[in-house]
A and B are shown apart, each in its own frame.
Chain A
Amino acid sequence: SQQGEEDPQALSIQEGENATMNCSYKTSINNLQWYRQNSGRGLVHLILIRSNEREKHSGRLRVTLDTSKKSSSLLITASRAADTASYFCATAIMEYGNKLVFGAGTILRVKS
């Protein structure tokens, strides 16, 4: 069963605009992670936020976590054409063992 679900499924923006992707999940988590995947490639880890954290930054990325709403958002500021990719959230749940549960992803297209 899918724990994390991303919204929207697809997003198309102009270069320079901000992109926001959301992730909702169902059960309590240990941490939540965001990954990026370029077409036909492996995933690349972007950022990890723990259940006791509310916000985290990494370069142009900002991640928030609201455990009361069981949701997270990923904001990419000043987007570039090179940001075009699929973005996945993954939840880490201790009861599931040492593994992650991935959502279906958001496809981001940044037009130049």
Chain B
Amino acid sequence: DGGITQSPKYLFRKEGQNVTLSCEQNLNHDAMYWYRQDPGQGLRLIYYSQIVNDFQKGDIAEGYSVSREKKESFPLTVTSAQKNPTAFYLCASSLGRGQINEQFFGPGTRLTVL
């Protein structure tokens, strides 16, 4: 059953804590993305990776970090430097390989800062 998974579905963080959101795909896609969605708004790109061991900042990378050690996995860490982290986080993947293809999305993680 191919797809993209995110965990956890809900996450609560105390101020000053780092938290890591998981994203895994078994679609054999080269490209993976992290987006942030705030209520009533569209998606804003945080980081993206087009190949293993390489990633680029998106439009709102400050306060976030990522790694891409395996093709299947692209975890996102929300650091204490992110001043307003409460949001819905979406991970996506696409075939990549120089083409701007359709993206496949995970179910999302809702992060709340207490």
CB contacts (< 8 Å) of A42 on chain B: these are: 90, 92, 105-108
Count of inter-chain pairs, beta carbons less than 8 A: 61
Complex interface residues of chain B between 66 and 114 (CB less than 8 A to chain A) = 88, 90, 92, 94, 96, 98-108, 110
User: What is the bound-complex CA distance between A70 and B81, given in angstroms?
Assistant: 38
User: What is the bound-complex CA distance between A31 and B103, given in angstroms?
Assistant: 13
User: What is the bound-complex CA distance between A31 and B102, given in angstroms?
Assistant: 10
CB contacts (< 8 Å) of A98 on chain B: these are: 31, 48, 50, 94, 96, 98-100
Interface residue A28 (Cβ < 8 Å from any Cβ of B): no
CB contacts (< 8 Å) of A99 on chain B: these are: 33, 45, 48, 58, 100
* Chain B residue at smallest Cβ distance from A31: B100
* Chain B residue at smallest Cβ distance from A44: B105
Q: Contact residues of A with B, CB < 8 Å? A: 2, 30-31, 33, 35, 40-45, 48, 88, 92, 94, 97-105
Between A and B, 20 residue pairs with Cβ closer than 8 Å are A35-B105, A41-B108, A42-B108, A43-B43, A43-B92, A43-B103, A43-B105, A44-B105, A45-B103, A97-B56, A98-B50, A98-B96, A99-B45, A99-B58, A102-B35, A102-B44, A104-B40, A104-B41, A104-B42, A105-B42
Q: Contact residues of B with A, CB < 8 Å? A: 31, 33, 35, 40-45, 48, 50, 56, 58, 88, 90, 92, 94, 96, 98-108, 110
